[in-house]
């Protein structure tokens, strides 16, 4: 229909109307170009908006409190294309993190302090297991002014004084399960126990002098510096830290999960007191 109308128009105006037709065509071309430019600009804006990534949400065990920011900083500085990546963190006992997820929270990355914790996930298929981040050994932390220097001395203290105050993680927490394993192997029963929701709460009790000792991870005792003394335990259990990434996570989160098992991340973890799959010589 449009072709037929243009043909009729040319016949009706004759040679004298050609200048007007040329002007009309030029105007149409300008309008088309302007519309194309608007469309292009809209597309560019949309593309720019899509390129703005959301912060990577990380749920991590409380024992990673000190080292996680170091890992995130190293990732953004060294990983290609990660310069603008931002992180949000939820640091708590592993059982609390899993509970939050079962109640609807959707982190991009989940790192618990043992494998048993992730078995409590209602929707395990929503995550991909990236492997083991590192392992952490159970130790006894005592106040810096304590006379105890060996586990044997602490056992003697427990035997001589049944009211010796000891802090442990609750049995539902990875460090609590590790503590139970150790106590059962040593055939020990603690009379006076303060059960805490996470390992950092145990450490805080030791630092404050509210207890005579507390079972924590080696990394927690190291992070406290001179505030506590770390006592090695015989046949101490070690917990493995699995890394899970959400199946819906953006590329940045998937990359971070994979990067955590690389050489640079493992060096940082070693310096923080963790044991890794590739120990330094």
pLDDT band, very low/low/confident/very high, at 23 (cuts 50, 70, 90): very low
pLDDT in tens, 109-166: 999 999 999 999 999 999 999 999 999 999 999 999 999 999 999 988 888 888 899 9
Phi, psi dihedral angles at 135 (to 5 degrees): -125, 160
d(CA 82, CA 98): 27
Q: Indicate the angle between helix axes 251-259 and 67-78, nearest 10 degrees.
A: 110
The tens digit of pLDDT for each residue in 82-121 reads 999 999 999 999 999 999 999 999 999 999 999 999 999 9
Residues 6+ apart with CB under 8 A from 103: none
**122: nearest Cα among 98, 141, 139:** 98
Helices (H) and strands (E) in the chain, counts: 11, 9
Decide yes or no: CATH 1.10.10.10 for domain 56-135+240-271.
no
Q: For position 97, what pLDDT does the model report?
A: 98
pLDDT digits (tens, 9 = 90+) for 31-64: 444 444 444 444 443 333 334 678 999 999 999 9
Burial 123-136 (b: 16+ CB within 10 A, else e): eeeebeebeebbbb
- How far, in whole angstroms, is CA 29 from its chain's centroid? 55
Give the helix, strand, coil percentages of the chain, each rounded to 5.
50, 20, 30
Report pLDDT for 93: 96
Contact (CB, 8 A) for 66 and 272: yes
Residue ranges of the chain that CATH labels 3.40.190.10: 56-135+240-271, 136-238
Q: Count Cα neighbours of 178 within 13 Å in the Cβ-side half-sphere.
A: 29
Least confident among 90-99, 123-132, 186-195, 202-211: 186-195
- Tell me which residue of 260, 236, 219, 203 sits closest to 58, measured CA to CA: 260
Q: Output the average pLDDT for the chain.
A: 85
Quick one: pLDDT at residue 193? 87
Tell me the binding residues for molybdate. 63, 94, 199, 217
Position 159 scores a pLDDT of 82
Specify binding-site residues.
63, 94, 199, 217
* CATH ID of 136-238, from 3.30.930.10, 3.40.190.10, 3.60.21.10, 3.40.47.10: 3.40.190.10
């Amino acid at each position: 229909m449009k072709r037929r109308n243009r043909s009729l128009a040319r016949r009706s105006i004759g040679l004298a109307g050609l200048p007007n037709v040329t002007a009309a065509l030029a105007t149409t071309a300008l309008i088309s170009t302007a519309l194309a430019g608007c469309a292009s600009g809209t597309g560019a804006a949309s593309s720019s908006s899509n390129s703005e990534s959301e912060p990577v949400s990380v749920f991590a065990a409380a024992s990673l409190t000190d080292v996680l920011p170091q890992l995130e900083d190293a990732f953004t500085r060294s990983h290609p294309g990660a310069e603008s990546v931002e992180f949000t963190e939820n640091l708590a006992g592993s059982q609390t993190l899993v509970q939050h997820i079962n109640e609807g929270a959707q982190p991009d990355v989940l790192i618990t302090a043992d494998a048993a914790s992730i078995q409590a996930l209602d929707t395990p298929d929503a995550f991909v297991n990236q492997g083991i981040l590192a392992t952490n050994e159970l130790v006894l932390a005592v106040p810096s002014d304590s006379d105890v220097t060996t586990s044997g001395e602490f056992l003697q203290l427990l035997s001589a004084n049944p009211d010796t105050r000891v802090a442990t993680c609750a049995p539902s927490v990875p460090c609590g399960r590790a503590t139970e394993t150790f106590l059962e192997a040593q055939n020990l029963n603690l009379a006076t126990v303060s059960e805490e929701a996470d390992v950092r709460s145990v450490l805080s009790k030791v630092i404050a002098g509210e207890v005579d000792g507390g079972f924590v991870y080696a990394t927690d005792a190291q992070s406290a510096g001179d505030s506590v003394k770390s006592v090695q335990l015989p046949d101490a259990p070690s917990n493995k830290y699995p890394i899970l990434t959400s199946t819906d996570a953006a590329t940045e989160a998937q990359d971070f999960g994979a990067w955590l098992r690389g050489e640079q991340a493992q060096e940082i973890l070693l310096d923080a007191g963790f044991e890794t799959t590739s120990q330094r010589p």
